Amino acid sequence: MYYLPRGAVTADWDDDFKSNIRLESARKSAKTCALHLVTLSHPQTSSALSRPYPFSQVIMKQLLALALASLAVAGALQAQTLTPAQARMVGGCMIYPADNIWNTPINGLPVDQDSAVFINTIGKGYALHPDFGREASNGMPINVVDGKATKVKTTFEDKDDSDKGPYPVGSSANALVEGGPNPKSGDDHHFLTVVSAPKCVLYEMYNVSPITSGGTVGRKSNGTIQAYSGNYVDLTSNQLRALPPNSPMGLNSADAAGLEIMPALVRYDEAASGQINHALRFTLPVTRSAFVWPARHYASSNASNTLLPMGARIRLKASFNTAGYSQKNQAILNALKTYGAILADNGSPLFLSGTPDVRWDDDDLHNLGKVTFTDFEVVSMSAIADLEYVPNSGKVDPDAKLK
């Protein structure tokens, strides 16, 4: 559905932590093994063996020990690599059904007839920017709690568009807020929490407060937390936020497009698996006062038809050459070719959202800046609208033509 108002104005941290502990343990074991083997290359003399090994033999044994140690570490690293299907899961939960619009390839859909106009008007010189990296302050962390996590009374500034609390908030280890330790006042301070299987419910808040100096959700003097807006969704369902009648702006969420954030984030485990099998999320500084399915909301007073509405989908051109990029960057670029990215918020130009993870190589991620807006095309918005199956659902029409 295409909404044009009349007269319109992001590793499960627990899993990553355990993974890092296992890898560190493997490295220590490998080093210990190497030390033992090197020690054995210098045997004690005895009546039966009074001569030490020749120097060359000692060196060979040391090299063998180091090789074995390297293999042990490599084996440990390989053991932690997940399949794309495993990497897509968070807290034991699949992220939406397979027939959800986020999980549907759109590389066969036509290009929008105004694609060139959109890109030239908005800013053809914009470069792709990964808004995530190895620092805790760079990206949106995903918190995972179990069904027993304490729920805290929550108040919202945008009461009408928010889902009423309380909201689950775990311990400081899994109550991380966007912005990291000592967050800046200008950050969006998104707080994303997944209640693990079997519940599989995603809770999201925008501009949560108070925030501790450690970058976690705090409590007000009365024991509550506050946010501008918030919502929650069943990750096993295709249900979208139900649009209220006679509301041209639609229904807000923790994101300006009225969508969920977490399902669209670039996560390290997914990139490391070699495939990211879902659409991504990006921002632009200026958007249109309109939204298209699956978006639920807009946040603009500019009605210009040369701007993209919330929910618009861009796609990296199939002709773009990904050779020379790292495996992880290729996974990101191929996702942009196959699934594209959905415009979900007003923000910095062509910023791609993801989660912070100490395993990211920031220098490598910066190579994505070689990709510019002219390397993208806007997917036909009418073709996307034709995929809608039933109102207020992200399910793709099973009879839709995707090629």
pLDDT for 46: 36
Question: Residues 238-245: what's their mean pLDDT?
Answer: 93
Domain boundaries, the chain: 2-14+84-385, 15-79
pLDDT for 65: 55
Contact 360, 324 (CB under 8 A): no
The answer to whether residue 9 scores a pLDDT higher than 80 is no
* Residue linked to tokens 């044009």: 4
Q: Which of 293, 310, 165, 300 is nearest to 230 (CA)?
A: 165
Separation of alpha carbons 85 and 94, rounded Å: 9
The answer to whether residue 32 scores a pLDDT higher than 50 is no
pLDDT band at residue 95 using 50, 70 and 90 as cut-offs: very high
The answer to whether residue 107 scores a pLDDT higher than 90 is yes
Residue 336 one-letter amino acid: L
**Strand pairing class (129-131; 341-346):** unpaired
Instruction: Give, rounded to a whole angstrom, the gap between the first and last alpha carbons of the chain.
Output: 20
Task: Identify whether 97 is preceded by a cis peptide bond (ω within 30 of 0).
Answer: no
Separation of alpha carbons 307 and 325, rounded Å: 31
φ, ψ dihedrals at 266, nearest 5°: -80, 120
Q: Of all helices (H) and strands (E), which one includes residue 156?
A: strand 154-156
pLDDT for 187: 83
pLDDT for 99: 96
The answer to whether residue 199 scores a pLDDT higher than 70 is yes
pLDDT band at residue 402 using 50, 70 and 90 as cut-offs: confident
- Whole-number average pLDDT of the chain: 85
Tokens of residue 301, six digits: 């007073």
What pTM was estimated for this model as a whole?
0.80
Instruction: Give pLDDT tens digits for 265-317.
Output: 999 999 999 999 999 999 999 999 999 999 999 999 999 999 999 999 999 99
The answer to whether residue 73 scores a pLDDT higher than 70 is no
The answer to whether residue 97 scores a pLDDT higher than 60 is yes
Q: 3-state class of 116 per DSSP?
A: helix
Q: 3-state class of 378 per DSSP?
A: strand
Separation of alpha carbons 214 and 137, rounded Å: 11
Tokens of residue 23, six digits: 């890898």
The answer to whether residue 27 scores a pLDDT higher than 50 is no
Question: Residues 119-132: what's their mean pLDDT?
Answer: 95
Instruction: Give pLDDT tens digits for 156-196.
Output: 999 999 999 999 998 888 899 999 988 776 789 999 999 99
Instruction: Give pLDDT tens digits for 362-378.
Output: 999 999 999 999 999 99
Contact 157, 282 (CB under 8 A): no
- How would DSSP label each residue in 199-221? T-EEEEEES-B-B-TTSBB---T
pLDDT for 7: 34
Residue 187 burial by CB count (10 A; 0-12/13-18/19+): exposed, middle or buried? Answer: middle
Query: C-alpha distances in angstroms, 22 versus 17, 113, 142, 155?
Result: 9, 52, 21, 40
